[in-house]
Amino acid sequence: MFDFDTYILEVNDNFIRWSGSRTVAIPFDIPQNELLDLLPQINGVLFTGGALQLVNEEGEQHPYYITAKKIFHYSKFMKDVKDEDWPIIGICQGIEVISLILADDDPNALTKVFIYGGNRPLKWNLDPITESKMFHTFPRNLTDSMETKPYTSHEHSYSLSMETFNKTLGL
């Protein structure tokens, strides 16, 4: 039994702290005026994993998704208008959030899949040590091992198909 409506998993807190930053939890239902006061005081956001129905078939949006959209548009404003990096990292459901925003809130942009307990090696699309802002501090032996050993866990209910990716302009 889990008797809490809001929480932050230790793994997410550690992920941010181990990268050298501090964690600030943003309530999913934060009032807009408080969110707009908070965002200039931080320098990026991690959209974490989870299992929410972000947008249902009728187009109703979960409060978490509504808040995430405001954060996404703040980040885009900072980059497009102020020419400042204000990064967003999406993990699992966080990637779903970003994908849905870029697909104009279309819940059909995501494909239902069932991947649970599927640990796999990771295929890098770049050299993580020399080309990644996120992984450049990892030891080379770890990034090499991540390519050959099943170190990454996959627990997903939705994915973004290549067909949707290719036909959705924002993505």
* pLDDT tens readout for residues 80-93: 999 999 999 998 88
- Summary mean pLDDT of the chain: 87
Please write the tens of the pLDDT for every residue from 74-132. Answer: 999 999 999 999 999 998 889 899 999 998 898 888 888 777 777 888 888 889 888 98
Beta strand 156-159 with 88-90 is: unpaired
Residues 43-71: tens digit of each pLDDT: 999 998 888 889 888 889 999 999 999 99
Give per-residue pLDDT as tens, 18-29.
878 888 989 999
The residues that bridge with 112 in the sheet, in sequence order, are 158
Residue 2 has pLDDT above 70, yes or no: no
Q: Are 16 and 22 in contact (CB under 8 A)?
A: yes
Q: How far apart are CA 14 and CA 37, in angstroms?
A: 25
CA–CA dist 15, 109 (Å, integer): 28
CA distances from 17 to 12, 21, 92, 118 (A): 9, 5, 19, 26
Alpha helix stretches (DSSP H) within 10-80? 10-18, 32-38, 63-80
- Under 8 Å CB-to-CB from 109, ≥6 apart: which residues? 99, 100, 103, 160, 164, 168, 171
Closest C-alpha among 82, 72, 86 to residue 44: 86
Q: Which two tokens stand for residue 23?
A: 């964690």
Question: Do the beta carbons of residue 109 and residue 99 sit within 8 Å?
Answer: yes
